[in-house]
Structure 1
């Protein structure tokens, strides 16, 4: 089951729609919804001191992302960096094309490098986790790595983020070995990637309609539920005021924190697909029987 966040008890962060479909909810934060997934733009366009792209959307997203960036920050203005929460196809689909187009560094956790430098594929999806057609179709989703090895950089060891002053990165594995979330303490803003998402991803209807709910990571592509649980608990302990996830609308406020704590406390009952492939047997890179390396 999922913890339901009905419209009556959730505060959706107000946004202002700008050109090319970009939704701004703070002077230096905006996002672009690309079918089922979000990319985030960090940077205040009125200041002209640079910007950062967080994640790279679907394989068909290059043009939409460039067009949105041109409208928000100025034509042909390239980012200071691309920061990857992880390398699944819906987050890294246009990464190779964007890295070539802008010639900028791509930062990721070292445990995510095999999926971003062409060396390893992710574990197979689990289509029987329940929830709807998206889950059933998940074996058809791409698992192969992208290759941006020439642009790839390790995130700073002190957990700061390049060109994002005041932000830190947090290792939040489970959905992917090198998954990270981004955190700004000053206003308690969390960019969670897929460690938690704010709409159901197993159902086509929910993914399209963006019904606001609190969920753990998308079930069909989560190979380690023990790590996923610890990541959710870590994020709940931050007491975020605003959450921007990889799927769903930005949400904020005390009701969201309550639901997040409920998810963290009852994670096994709420998020984990009982008896399914990875619930009791996490997939690890190099593990016999679940070897993701080619």
Structure 2
């Protein structure tokens, strides 16, 4: 769906081409270099929410895409699936611009309030160029304490009626997905993704296939497996993930089922300790 790979610079030419791509009448996405941001809300709505904030230096293009879809109406809030650099890189600039709260799972708080760093990426697993480059990806804590709030304990999603939070740890301790029961739409973050993120070629051509979380940044494979099984039990009809194009239909569901059933073989790097 994304028509071109965009360089990591804000400029007028690319801002003119910043436009969210609609998946459902109230769900759209925009790709920030390697990671997606999700817009939940109908066009021109005053009540919409942004899921994740993409990589650094993309705030102007996210704002431009939002204004094309919703006019001058700012989002009610940002919901973070987790705090890795490619999901919160533009968070501070967006929160400042819109003066809105950012919500995250309580277990993710230390990583986004300046208290704790994520483990350094493991370049030896996953294969592909992005795995080799992953030790250079930022892992330092980002301080969003001025804007961040914990997600409600009851699993509800602020400002999004009909959606619920599904705790899907493994990739990070406080990773969450969002699920809407009425049409079985899943925003999966990095718990499952629709492209082999370790491979630069797969990312460039956006080759679609259901995969487990990016291997180089996943440190709890036991929890990651349980999260994929939890997602499979939801039987989603449509998946919008943090990386890759949206997927729906029988092929997606078959691939998700196979991933859940064979997670150790399909997702866990071979030299990692096998789960018991």
After TM superposition, the score normalised by the length of structure 1 is 0.86
Which residue, out of 47, 70, 75, partners 1:73?
70
Partner of residue 178, structure 2: 182
Structure-to-structure mapping, 1:191-206, within 5 angstroms: 191-206=187-202
Partner of residue 123, structure 2: 127
Unaligned runs of 5+ in 1: 1-11, 13-17, 282-294
Contact 2:21/2:30 (<8 A) preserved: yes
Contact 2:19/2:68 (<8 A) preserved: no
Structure-to-structure mapping, 1:272-287, within 5 angstroms: 272-276=268-272, 279=273
Structure-to-structure mapping, 1:140-179, within 5 angstroms: 140-179=136-175
Contact 1:37/1:57 (<8 A) preserved: yes
Query: SS of 1:165's equivalent?
Result: coil
Contact 1:35/1:208 (<8 A) preserved: no
User: How far off its partner does 1:49 sit?
Assistant: 3.4
Which residue, out of 55, 59, 66, partners 2:56?
59
Partners of 1:49 and 1:137 in 2: CA distance? 40
Structure-to-structure mapping, 1:35-54, within 5 angstroms: 35-46=33-44, 48-54=45-51
User: How far off its partner does 1:280 sit?
Assistant: 5.9
Contact 2:19/2:64 (<8 A) preserved: no
| Deviation readout 1:246-267 (Å, 9 max, x if unpaired) | 0011000122111101000000
Q: More relative contact order in 1 or in 2 (CA 8 Å, sep 6+)? A: 1
Structure-to-structure mapping, 1:1-294, within 5 angstroms: 20-46=18-44, 48-75=45-72, 77-276=73-272, 279=273
| Deviation readout 1:125-154 (Å, 9 max, x if unpaired) | 100113211001100000012111021111
Partner of residue 7, structure 1: none
Q: After TM superposition, where is structure 1 displaced by more than 3 Å over at least 4 residues in a row?
A: none
Query: SS of 2:56's equivalent?
Result: coil
Query: SS of 1:20's equivalent?
Result: coil
Partners of 2:107 and 2:257 in 1: CA distance? 27
Query: SS of 2:60's equivalent?
Result: helix
Aligned length: 261
Partner of residue 8, structure 1: none
Would the alpha carbon gap of residues 59 and 202 (structure 1) be closer, same or farther in structure 2, given more than 3 Å must change? same
After TM superposition, the score normalised by the length of structure 2 is 0.91
Unaligned runs of 5+ in 2: 2-15
